[in-house]
């Protein structure tokens, strides 16, 4: 078993520097695209749906969600390009924004998903967990 582990370590070692970027780019691009598709602001289909759910100020809230998604997506990527405390802060704040937005999505759009197979079979859980990962780890 140790020979197999050593062989896999040898194969993976050249790619260890890119591994965090696989997560960072996946989350950043995904979140940017989710937000960008809601432009122009306010996103009318989302406004109508938020109104039907009783959300107050749906034009403002939906616009903030779209902007938050775009900014958080860019921040996740940009934060990784800055090798200083500012980059770490941008990464953590962007990850936190992803978490907040995803909790909002769960509460508003999918309250019946909590701790069910539907939650774990959706892409949303992965967006949430990746956001949480970057909020906790920053650039470390």
- pLDDT tens digits for range 17-64: 999 999 999 999 999 999 999 999 999 999 999 999 999 999 999 999
pLDDT of residue 6: 94
pLDDT of residue 24: 97
* Domain extents in the chain: 19-137
- Mean pLDDT across 101-126: 89
- Asked whether the predicted pLDDT for residue 11 surpasses 90, the reply is yes
φ, ψ of residue 43 to 5 degrees: the values are -70, 105
pLDDT of residue 103: 95
Give the C-alpha separation, 38 to 114, whole Å.
26
Nearest alpha-carbon partner for 65 in 24, 113, 31: 31
Give the angle subtended at the CA of 101 by the CAs of 99 and 107, to the nearest 5°: 100
DSSP SS3 for 99: helix
- Mean pLDDT across 58-86: 97
Six-digit token string for 119: 């939650």
């Amino acid at each position: 078993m140790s020979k197999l582990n050593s062989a896999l370590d040898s194969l993976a070692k050249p790619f260890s520097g890119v591994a965090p970027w696989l997560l960072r780019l996946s989350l950043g691009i995904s979140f940017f695209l989710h937000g960008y598709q809601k432009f122009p602001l306010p996103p009318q289909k989302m406004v109508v749906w938020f109104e039907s759910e009783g959300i107050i100020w749906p034009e403002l809230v939906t616009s903030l969600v779209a902007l938050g998604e775009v900014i958080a997506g860019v921040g996740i990527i940009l934060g990784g390009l800055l090798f200083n405390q500012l980059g770490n802060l941008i990464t953590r704040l962007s990850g936190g924004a992803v978490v907040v937005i995803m909790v909002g999505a769960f509460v508003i759009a999918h309250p019946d998903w909590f701790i069910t197979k539907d939650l774990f079979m959706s892409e949303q859980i992965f967006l949430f967990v990746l956001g949480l990962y970057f909020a906790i780890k920053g650039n470390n």
